[in-house]
Amino acid sequence: AQSVAQPEDQVNVAEGNPLTVKCTYSVSGNPYLFWYVQYPNRGLQFLLKYITGDNLVKGSYGFEAEFNKSQTSFHLKKPSALVSDSALYFCAVRDTGRRALTFGSGTRLQVQP
């Protein structure tokens, strides 16, 4: 079964500094990987996805993610964090059987001004 792991419950970063939110995956076959962001009491907003192609994927709001097959990782990155980036971030993998997404436990990003 597919799964993703987000090892950090919370990441703190100062505004203007680069940020990284970690994600590792376990799948059989080719991984379909996603990042979503959730603001309080809201649904999830799609940030980016990796299906195939370039290992560096660019997404919404200046976010990008790097697919690393050898390390089975798909870390989310942004060169310069904003206070408004503070939210809950979820890594997800497509479940090929059910076609739904399986989510990681989430990482809360806190950007300090």
Helix (H) or strand (E) holding 74: strand 73-78
**Helix (H) and strand (E) counts in the chain:** 0, 12
Least CB distance to another protein at residue 16 (A): 28
Least CB distance to another protein at residue 102 (A): 7
Least CB distance to another protein at residue 42 (A): 5
User: Of the two residues 87 and 104, which places its CB atom closer to another protein in the complex?
Assistant: 104
**Count of beta carbons in the 10 Å neighbourhood of residue 35:** 27
Chain residues in the site for another protein (CB under 8 A): 30, 32, 34, 36, 41-46, 49, 51-52, 90, 94, 98-106
Query: What is the spatial distance between Cα 62 and Cα 43, in angstroms, rounded to a whole number?
Result: 20
